[in-house]
Every structure is written in C-alpha cells, then in structure tokens.
Amino acid sequence: MGKLKAIFFDQDGVIIDTEKDGHRVAFNEAFKAFGYDFEWDVDCYQELLQIAGGKERMRHYFHEEGLFPDLSKEEEDKFIKDLHKKKTEIFISLIETGKLPLRPGIRRLMKEGMENSLTLGVCTTSNERSANAITRGVLKEIDFAFVLAGDMVKKKKPDPEIYFSGLEKAGLRPEECVVIEDSRNGILAAKGAGLYVVATTNVYTENEDLSDADIIVSSLGDPDGEKGVLKKGDESKLNFDGVIHVDQLITYFSK
C-alpha cells in the first residue's frame, strides 16, 4: 500500500505508433534489400504480432511458409540475425528522419512524470538499438531511470521477466508502479509482475482482449490536440476529460 512512484512505458504502439508504418515497412524493405519478393501486408503482420520479438516473427513466418528449408539451424540463426540487423537500420532511419511521430500525449505525460519526481522507465520487446534511438534521440530531454530492451531478457512478453527487471531497477514494489501498454501480451506481462496497467489502443490492438488492464483509453490525449476515449475505468474517480494526466494516475492508483 502506498503512493504511485513510477511509470513504465512499453515502446512500440505506446511511445510511437510503430507497427503498421514502422516495423512492418522496415521488415519489407529489408526483405527487398536481400532480394526477396515476399512481403507482410497489414493483415499478415497483425497475425505475426501475436509472436513477441522481430527475429521470432521472421522464424515463425519462414517455417509456416516453408521458406529456406535447406538452411541448418546455425545458418538460419545467422540469416535471421543479418536480416534483422538490416531491418533495424531501416527502422531507425524512419525514426531519425521524423517519419514516425510520437503518439498523442506521450511526451506530455513523461514531462508530467518528471515534474512529479516519478521514476520513468522503458520496457520493450524491441532491441536495444531501436529503444535507444527513441529514448536518446526523439525523447532525449526525458530523464529515464532505465531502458530495458527485448534482447536484455531471456523471455519476452507475455512473460513478466522484463517487468520484474524494471521493478528491480526502480527499487520499487509492484503496487507503486503503473505500466502504459497497448497489447494483450504486454498487459499480461505487466499483470504477471503485479503492476497496474493503463492500455492505449491502436489499429493493431483495438480488437484484442485488453480487459485485464485497469484503464483502457484510445490514446493518452492532449489538451490542445487529439482527445482519448475512455473504454474501461472509473470515469468519476479518474476525472477523465479526454486527457490522462499524471496527477490523475497518482490519485487513481495510490492507496
């Protein structure tokens, strides 16, 4: 029992709406760069998003489609690693050139967190290079206590390992932290670590079962911009007007 002291953020779909026009595009450009004509359309990628991790998605897709059957396990591992490296370079270029803007309310909420002396952290299944391109580039003015990437843990979401690591880094109890997530896998991971969860939906996750989240909104919202729609949560307790503020979360989750 206590006051809210930290906010942990997922990256893809939460900080930047990266999946449809970011990661998916980067994967397809990497396939093309390696001389292949197959690509992942929007529906195909939505199915692949149920598998956490880019290298894991490629492996699953190649096996399901019967591609590259003559590769040994070692050859396949190297091939996927090389493909993913190229994909990451393309993805980071999309971020650095400003082609993938931040989601509404995310920078504002982080700044409010700093003003309230909350611990801020990132827990993402993306690799470390992608995470750093955002946290040390686009969001360089934000003081993150830690950035945990998918290649820093043995098991990816929905396993709670990354959020247990976040708690350890922050030195806090689960009831003192809230996670901003967007997907069922992410919510299950956060809840598996005993954390509060605010879910922000996007085109890929709006039809997923996000009911385990404590609050569900279409976006965090901005006072002078896009307003969020509350899909789950106590509207009167949250005092919701289309925008999620840090002081509202502190009141809502503090005991």
Q: Please give the sequence-ordered ranges of beta strands (E in DSSP) within the chain, or none if there are none.
A: 6-9, 119-123, 146-148, 177-181, 196-200, 215-217, 230-232
Active-site residue, from 12, 17, 182, 222: 12
Hey, what are 132's tokens?
A: 């750093």
Residue 228 DSSP symbol: P
Give the SS3 label for residue 102: strand
User: Tell me, what's the pLDDT at 56?
Assistant: 94
Correct CATH for 6-17+102-253 of 1.10.30.50, 3.40.50.1000, 3.30.70.20, 3.40.50.300: 3.40.50.1000
pTM, rounded to two decimals? 0.83
Active-site residue, from 10, 17, 182, 214: 10
Hey, what are 73's tokens?
A: 């396990």
User: Tell me, what's the pLDDT at 183?
Assistant: 94
CB 133 within 8 A of CB 95: yes
**Mean pLDDT per 10-residue run, the chain (255 residues)?**
89 87 93 96 90 92 96 96 95 86 95 98 90 92 96 92 98 97 96 98 90 98 95 94 96 90
CB 130 within 8 A of CB 91: yes
What does the domain layout of the chain look like in residue ranges?
A: 6-17+102-253, 19-96
Nearest one of 24, 3, 48, 8 to 168, comparing CA atoms: 8
Q: Which stretches of 13-142 are DSSP H helices?
A: 18, 24-33, 42-48, 54-65, 73-96, 106-115, 128-133
**Residue 41 known to be catalytic:** no
User: Tell me, what's the pLDDT at 168?
Assistant: 98
User: Tell me, what's the pLDDT at 254?
Assistant: 87
CA distance 37 to 162: 35
**Residue 10 known to be catalytic:** yes
Domain 19-96 sits in CATH 3.30.70.100: no
Alpha-carbon radius of gyration of the chain: 18
Rounded to a whole number, what is the largest CA-CA distance in the chain?
60
User: Tell me, what's the pLDDT at 81?
Assistant: 96
User: Tell me, what's the pLDDT at 242?
Assistant: 96
